[in-house]
């Protein structure tokens, strides 16, 4: 069924290419480009709880780099650490290792060499760029496996975030949004299957989407969007048993 769905997507994409290509070129030419979040790319949340902190690493694309907000404290990394600290009643030592525009395949070469310090939990955040770069699904799966195995060998827990819902990105024209959203769902299915097969946590993104969750570029989360995402992630991570109170 997966192969049939993939073939169906490509047939639709090729049929719509004369319409999609001008839309994509126009969007790329006129899109608002926001910088990554500034400030420290690591920190400590929940210091008031005392004790040994949970060592958290977020590794991934522009949402880990914090595009859409000014500082990491209100991006996904900082807000997830704060949500986990309050939920678990323990400190969370966090680090964000993200690059705007990177794919999972590129991350294996560019980011893993920077991720040698021991962590308790590695949260892998990929999918948008692999969707828009049309990464081959087998290459996508191999890259995810390589990323996860790197942290498993270090004794860390591994969790994946779901591929973001590109169909809600208002920066994109409706038809392009719908077609890329369908592609994102295919990659997300691959990610979910891999996570289940390797017994890693898979964190679905099942919140009700709202305009206020998007930054000014219509493509990345706003501070509010990051906060809602972070809270949902914290709850899923605890239910999955990859983080616990101490």
Each residue's pLDDT tens digit, 210-242: 889 999 999 999 999 999 999 999 999 999 888
**β-strand pairing of 54-60 with 42-45:** unpaired
The pLDDT > 90 percentage for the chain reads 86
Cβ–Cβ < 8 Å for 12, 178 = no
Mean pLDDT, to the nearest integer, of 136-157? 96
216, 183, 111, 241 alpha-carbon torsion, rounded to 10°: 90
Mean of the per-residue pLDDT values of the chain: 94
Predicted pLDDT at 50: 86
Query: Is the per-residue pLDDT at 207 higher than 90?
Result: no
More confident residue, 162 or 4: 162
Per CATH, which fold does 2-33+41-239 belong to?
Rossmann fold (3.40.50)
> What token pair was written down for 202?
């898979």
Which of 127, 117, 62 has the alpha carbon at shortest distance from 93?
Answer: 117
Predicted pLDDT at 113: 94
| Residue 150, SS3 per DSSP | helix
The alpha carbons of the chain give a radius of gyration, in whole angstroms, of 18
- Identify the band that residue 1 occupies on the pLDDT scale cut at 50, 70 and 90: very low
CA 205, CA 221: separation in Å to the nearest integer?
13
Predicted pLDDT at 236: 94
Predicted pLDDT at 232: 94
Which of 191, 70, 196, 209 has the alpha carbon at shortest distance from 125?
Answer: 191
70, 71, 75, 80 alpha-carbon torsion, rounded to 10°: -160
Query: Is the per-residue pLDDT at 106 higher than 90?
Result: yes
Predicted pLDDT at 244: 76
Cα–chain-centroid distance for residue 241? 20
Residue-wise pLDDT for 75-93, tens only, equals 999 999 999 999 999 999 9
CA 112, CA 127: separation in Å to the nearest integer?
17
The pTM of the full predicted model, rounded to 2 decimals, is 0.94
- Identify the band that residue 206 occupies on the pLDDT scale cut at 50, 70 and 90: confident
Query: Is the per-residue pLDDT at 147 higher than 60?
Result: yes
């Amino acid at each position: 069924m997966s192969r049939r769905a993939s073939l169906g997507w490509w047939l639709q994409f090729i049929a719509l290419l004369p319409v999609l290509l001008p839309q994509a070129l126009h969007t790329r030419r006129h899109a608002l480009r926001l910088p990554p979040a500034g400030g420290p790319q690591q920190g400590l949340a929940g210091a008031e709880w005392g004790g040994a902190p949970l060592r958290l690493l977020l590794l991934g694309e522009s949402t880990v780099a914090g595009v859409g907000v000014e500082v990491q404290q209100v991006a996904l990394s900082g807000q997830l650490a704060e949500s986990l600290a309050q939920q678990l009643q323990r400190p969370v030592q966090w680090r964000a290792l993200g690059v705007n525009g990177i794919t999972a395949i590129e991350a294996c070469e560019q980011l893993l060499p920077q991720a040698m310090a021991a962590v308790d939990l590695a949260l892998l955040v990929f999918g948008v760029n692999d969707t828009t770069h049309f990464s081959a699904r087998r290459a996508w799966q191999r890259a995810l496996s390589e990323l996860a195995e790197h942290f498993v060998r270090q004794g860390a827990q591994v969790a994946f975030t779901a591929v973001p819902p590109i169909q809600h990105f208002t920066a994109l024209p409706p038809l392009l949004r719908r077609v890329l959203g369908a592609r994102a769902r295919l990659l997300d299915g691959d990610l979910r299957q891999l996570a289940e097969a390797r017994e890693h946590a898979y964190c679905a993104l099942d919140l009700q989407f709202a305009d206020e969750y998007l930054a000014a570029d219509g493509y990345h989360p706003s501070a509010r969007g990051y906060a809602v995402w972070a809270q949902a992630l914290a709850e899923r991570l605890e239910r999955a048993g990859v983080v616990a109170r101490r």
